[in-house]
């Protein structure tokens, strides 16, 4: 049994992870500043799946999860919970997770980097000062790498220039202010590992989709599900569109390729990292994904499963609001988690059938906010609106 502190336990992944670890007998505590709920409201949207308050969730789960409301950028709060709980592992999920949200305007870009970078910096100092043997499990993103024209390595790579060689972490090419905040996190983690000897796992996670994990046995235990253009990931947004007879809208030609994994497998991978920590003082990188798909391939898969579920939908490619390569090489090394036992739980089609079953109950909520599906965040600086 390990003592695990989850920063950001009210989130899409955080709530599922908290229940999963608690069910496996770990001692779990978590906190959240509830900004995800606030930020989704700020863009005029809601969670398609109704979710109770965190206090109600914890009480209903009845699985020994300790919860407090708090903010990782508040060092007095954070250091207090770390001193009291004395975790073996801290899982840092307490970050603003949306690239489009970070690109809306100066205010949201500033907020994203302030919240993400400074919150994670506080976590590093809390570990160093109060639990130096603690394992930091930090959720990053595959988007830190961009789309290089070479295979993305998990291990450090050797660079040769001007007749000399150096070993470095795989180069980063962030595509938004959100992704840049994650790269800054990685820089700070590497520094803390090098100068303080902290034990760190830096998780480069692909795009996550799905509505439930095995612990979500009741609708009251389901996690949030976002479908708007800021917080809804490609597969999640496509399924929500199909449910309300809204065309599926890949950006551009749909050739953008990324790594994907289901929510249940994101939780599985993070659990494997918790239960198999690095050596003391080790820094390691996990590239966390199951398979790679282009956006158009995903739209076709969703259309096919929708038809199986009695729903006819069409695919309408629209102008890409982002500045990114439409067609590119994309190959990722992702062996370390598989060496620890990771296996994809269900096929993507089986996962999509479950998603349609869950979201079919939420059609009215999605329809009431259908205007937030179309892009309003443009990387080239077009004017758009935000509630706050």
Torsion of the alpha carbons at 321, 326, 328 and 333, rounded to the nearest 10: 40
The CA radius of gyration of the chain, in Å to the nearest whole number, is 20
141 catalytically annotated: yes
Q: Per DSSP, which regions of 310-378 are E strands?
A: none
Q: Measured between alpha carbons, how far is 53 from 51 in angstroms, rounded to an integer?
A: 7
* Catalytic, out of 182, 211, 246, 345: 182
Contacts of 110 (CB under 8 A, 6+ apart): none
* Catalytic, out of 141, 186, 211, 223: 141
Q: CA angle, 386 as apex, 101 and 227 as ends, to 5°?
A: 55
293 catalytically annotated: no
Sheet harboring 257-262: ordered strands across? 207-209, 257-262, 291-294
Contacts of 36 (CB under 8 A, 6+ apart): 10, 11, 12, 97, 224, 231
182 catalytically annotated: yes
The angle that helices 295-308 and 348-359 make with each other, rounded to 10 degrees, is: 60
Element counts in the chain: helices (H) and strands (E): 14, 12
104 phi/psi in degrees, rounded to 5: -70, -45
9 phi/psi in degrees, rounded to 5: -80, -5
* Catalytic, out of 12, 178, 209, 330: 178
Closest CA to 257 of 148, 352, 349: 148
What the block records as the tokens of 74 is 């508040």
Q: Per DSSP, which regions of 220-282 are E strands?
A: 257-262
What count of residues does the chain have? 388
Q: Check if the beta carbon of residue 300 is closer than 8 Å to that of residue 315.
A: yes
DSSP per-residue letters across 344-376: -SS-HHHHHHHHHHHHGGGHHHHHTTGGGSS--
191 phi/psi in degrees, rounded to 5: -65, -45
Q: Mind telling me the catalytic residues?
A: 141, 178, 182
């Amino acid at each position: 049994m390990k003592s695990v502190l989850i920063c950001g336990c009210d989130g899409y992944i955080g709530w599922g992870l908290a229940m999963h670890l608690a069910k496996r007998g770990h001692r779990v505590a978590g906190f959240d500043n509830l900004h995800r709920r606030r930020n989704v409201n700020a863009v005029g949207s809601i969670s398609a799946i109704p979710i109770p308050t965190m206090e109600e969730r914890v009480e209903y789960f009845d699985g020994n999860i300790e919860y407090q409301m708090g903010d990782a950028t508040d060092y007095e709060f954070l250091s207090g919970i770390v001193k009291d709980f004395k975790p073996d592992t801290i899982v840092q999920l307490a970050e603003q997770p949306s690239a489009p949200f970070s690109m809306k305007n100066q205010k949201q870009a500033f907020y994203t980097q302030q919240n993400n970078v400074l919150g994670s910096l506080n976590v590093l100092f809390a570990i160093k000062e109060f639990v130096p043997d603690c394992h930091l499990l930090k959720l990053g993103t595959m988007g830190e790498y961009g789309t290089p024209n070479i295979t993305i390595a998990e291990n450090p790579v050797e660079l040769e220039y001007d007749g000399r060689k150096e070993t470095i972490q795989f180069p980063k090419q962030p595509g938004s202010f959100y992704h840049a905040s994650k790269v800054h996190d990685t820089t700070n983690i590497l520094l803390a590992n090098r100068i303080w000897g902290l034990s760190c796992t830096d998780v480069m996670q692909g795009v996550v989709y799905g509505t439930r994990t095995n612990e979500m046995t009741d609708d009251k235990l389901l996690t949030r599900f976002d479908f708007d253009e800021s917080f809804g990931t490609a597969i999640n947004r496509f399924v929500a569109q199909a449910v309300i007879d809204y065309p599926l809208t890949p950006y551009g030609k749909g050739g953008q390729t990324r790594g994907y994994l289901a929510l249940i497998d994101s939780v599985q991978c993070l659990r494997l990292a918790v239960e198999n920590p690095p050596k003391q003082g080790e820094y390691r990188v996990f590239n966390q994904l199951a398979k790679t798909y282009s956006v158009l391939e995903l739209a076709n898969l969703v259309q096919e499963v929708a038809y199986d579920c009695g729903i006819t939908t069409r695919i309408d490619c629209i102008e890409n609001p982002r500045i990114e390569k439409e067609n590119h090489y994309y190959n990722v090394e992702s062996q370390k988690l598989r060496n620890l036992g990771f296996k994809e739980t269900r096929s993507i089609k089986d996962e999509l059938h479950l998603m349609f079953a869950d979201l079919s109950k939420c059609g009215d909520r999605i329809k009431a906010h259908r205007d937030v599906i179309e892009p309003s965040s443009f990387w080239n600086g077009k004017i758009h609106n935000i509630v706050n």
